Amino acid sequence: MVIGEDFPAVLAAAQRGDEDAFTVLWRDGNPALLRYLKVVAPASAEDVTAETWVTVVRGLDRFRGGEDAWRAWLFTTARRRAVDAGRRRSRRPESPAAEVGDGHWPAAADAAEVVLENLATRAAIAAVASLPPLQADVVMLRVVAGLDTETVARLVGRSPGAVRVAVHRGLRRLARIMTEAGVTR
Amino acid sequence: MSGRDVPDADMPNIAGSPRADVPELPDGALDALLTGDLVTGEAGAGLRPAAALLAALTAAPHDDELAGHARVLAEFRRRGLPVRARRPARRRRRSLTSLTARAAAAAAVAATALGGVAAAAYTGALPAPAQQFAHGVIGAPSPPPGDRPGAPQPSHRPGAPQATPARPDAAGPDAAGPAASGLCTAYAHAKAHGTASQKAVAFRNLAAAAGGAAKIAAYCAAVPHPGNSQPGQPAPARPAGHPSHPTGKPSSHPTPHQGRRPSSAPATH
């Protein structure tokens, strides 16, 4: 998720109410938010993603900062909403398998490629979700959210050193999972 | 997410029990993986499985990940903006059109550069780790032997837009080969007959292969193909399709939950 040099203008336009500009922000951020929340709040990822955007839309006018700060805000909000959802729904039975059966099957001519890509991403998300919670969280924040170590550390309430260690452990474990799954090159 | 705070000590000590066939990856190599730096030698080879996974994690958006647009736009319209702030926004829309389209294209290029399985599927030039990953996970064909691209760039950060497909050492379509003509043809066809979504997909695939939206015209012009009827045609003004028209129905239902306003936006750092 990168908008780049146009980000200040896009943000300013969205803050003035321009729907196209806001759509650029949403299209850039939503897939990453959804992937992150599928790892940290698998039972309610879609709902928490929607709640995140409600919060972001309502606070949009007051946001000040560049694209890094924007991403940090998006994922800070998402993480808080996920914690809220976990508290609200902790007594509900979780159904992590439901997602797999609810696949998206487009009718386009290139359906095979789309499905291939979809499954690869889904499998990767499932692999990260199998990590211990802190490792899964920080790997997603570093890789999918694109946040730096210091930002991730503030977000999860750990020291940068602890985050670095958790990311390394998570990546090593993922490498091992992949290797054992037959991915060797 | 209430169980986030599991101490690291609860985890098995991986370093103490490495499998004989899985060499331990040094911290430096893992950091390089995160920043997209090329790693060569044994560490580089050891990183490929993880690189494939990170590529899939950061792949271009799927249609079902862009399905909630109508709902969030409705929320956007409802927010309490003063009227005086709305009017100038409408007057400025025309000039913003190219701006937002450019930004969308840039975002699409960055998002696609690494994990564009769809783009690579046109070309048969999926980076070997990703192809192998797909092969291992869902039975897709194995990558061809000898296809050993450098480590891809999984991390996407501003200021360092990914240009993997444009780099000579990266796996990607051969600009003069059938892959390129396939992408150009697919885009030309989508532009003429496709839906906004198909146009967007074809465009971002092509932009990723060309090394940027601005390079599409030159890229396709260099590709001899009967289907590419207008070589050298500049990139369209609205490549990502009109964003006001969602390409899928919302995948989730509105919730009455009132999100709390953030007390303050995070400070820039």
CATH number of the domain residue A160 falls in:
1.10.10.10
Q: Indicate whether A25 and A51 sit together in one domain.
A: yes
Compute the radius of gyration of chain B from its Cα atoms: 22
CB atoms within 10 A of CB B80: 6
Q: What is residue B25's DSSP assignment? A: P
User: Residue B107 is nearest to which of A1, A110, A178, comparing CB atoms?
Assistant: A1
A54 contacts B8? CB cut-off 8 A = no
Which of A55, A50, A78 is closest to A156 using CA atoms?
A78
Interface contact flag, B14 A173, Cβ < 8 Å: yes
Range of A114's domain?
107-185
Residue pair B196/B248 in contact by the 8 Å Cβ criterion? no
* DSSP notation for B220-268: HHTS--TT--STTPPPPS-TT--TTS-SS--SS------PPPPSSPPPP
A-chain CB neighbours of B198 within 8 Å are 108
Structural domain of B206: 24-63+93-221
Which of A29, A62, A90 lies at the terminal end of a domain, its last residue?
A90
B144 secondary structure, DSSP code: P
- CB-facing half-sphere around the CA of B3: CA atoms within 13 A: 11
The one-letter amino acid at B240: A
Question: In chain B, which residues have their Cβ closer than 8 Å to the Cβ of A167?
Answer: 30, 34
CB-CB neighbours of A144 under 10 Å? 26
At residue B25, the pLDDT reads 81
Looking at every residue in chain B, the average pLDDT score rounds to 56
In a domain, B55, yes or no: yes
Is A98 contained in some domain?
A: no
Cβ-defined contact of B2 to A87 (cutoff 8 Å): yes
Beta carbons of A61 and B121 less than 8 Å apart: no
pLDDT digits (tens, 9 = 90+) for B60-87: 998 899 998 999 999 999 886 544 444 4
Q: Which two tokens stand for residue B69?
A: 């647009």
- Collect all residues with Cβ–Cβ distance below 8 Å to B263 and sequence separation of at least 6: none
State both tokens at A47: 């709902």
Partner-chain contact A79 B158, CB within 8 Å: no
In a domain, B248, yes or no: no
- A78 CB near a chain B CB, below 8 Å? no
Contact B269, A69 (CB under 8 A): yes
The type of residue at A16 is R
C-alpha dihedral sign at A118, A122, A123, A128: positive
Q: Among A62, A90, A118, give the residue marking a domain's end.
A: A90
Number of domains composing chain A:
2
In this complex, the residue of B45, B76, B255 whose CB is nearest that of residue A51 is B255
Q: Which 10-39 residues of chain A touch chain B by CB within 8 A?
A: 10, 13, 16-24, 26-28, 30-31, 34-35
Q: Which of A63, A169, A185 sits opposite B132 (nearest CB)?
A: A185
Q: Based on the number of CB atoms within 10 Å of its own CB, is B66 exposed (0-12), middle (13-18) or buried (19 or more)? A: buried
DSSP 8-state symbol, B177: S
Same domain, A84 and A120: no
- B88-91's contacts with Cβ under 8 Å and 24+ in sequence apart are B88/A16, B89/A13, B89/A16, B89/A17, B89/A18
DSSP E strands, chain B:
none
Q: Which residues of chain A have pLDDT under 50?
A: 91-109, 185
Give φ, ψ of A139 to 5 degrees.
-65, -45
Distance CA A136, CA A129 (A): 6
pLDDT in tens, B28-53: 888 888 887 777 777 777 788 888 88
One digit per residue, the tens of pLDDT, for chain B of length 269 reads 444 444 444 444 444 444 445 567 888 888 888 887 777 777 777 788 888 889 899 999 988 999 989 999 999 998 865 444 444 444 444 455 566 666 666 655 544 443 444 334 333 334 444 445 444 444 445 555 444 333 333 344 444 333 333 333 334 444 445 556 566 666 666 666 666 666 566 666 666 666 666 555 665 666 654 444 444 444 444 444 444 444 444 444 444 444 444 444 444 44
Instruction: Select from A143, A154, A10, A89 the least CA-distant residue to B30.
Output: A143
Q: For residues A5 and A85, state if they share a domain.
A: yes
CB spacing of A27 vs B50 below 8 angstroms: no
Report if residue A30 sits inside a domain: yes
A4 — alpha (psi -120 to 50), left (phi > 0) or beta?
A: left
A168's enclosing H/E stretch is: helix A160-180
CB B61 within 8 A of CB A31: yes
**CA angle centred on A147, ends B68 and A27, rounded to 5°:** 20
Is ipTM beyond 0.90?
A: no
Task: Give the orientation angle of helix B69-78 with respect to helix A19-40, to 10 degrees.
Answer: 120
Whether A47 is covered by a domain: the verdict is yes
Of B3, B121, B244, the CB nearest to A133: B3
Would residue A5 count as lying in a domain? Answer: yes
Decide if A46 touches B, using CB distance below 8 A.
Answer: yes
Residue B79 within any structural domain of the chain: no
Query: Which residue from A162, A135, A146, A136 is spatially nearest to A69, judged by alpha carbons?
Result: A146
Instruction: Evaluate if pTM is beyond 0.90.
Output: no
In a domain, A183, yes or no: yes
Domain count, chain B: 1
Q: How many Å lie between the alpha carbon of B22 and the closest alpha carbon of chain A? A: 7
Instruction: Specify whether A124 is located in the same domain as A161.
Output: yes
Residue contact B252–A46, C-beta within 8 A: yes
* Cα separations in angstroms, A40 against A44, A84, A177, B9: 9, 12, 19, 20
CB contact under 8 A, B76 and A144: no
B-proximal residues of A, 50-69, CB under 8 Å? 50-55, 57-69
User: pLDDT above 90 covers what percent of chain B?
Assistant: 6
Q: Cβ of B132 and A7 within 8 Å? A: no
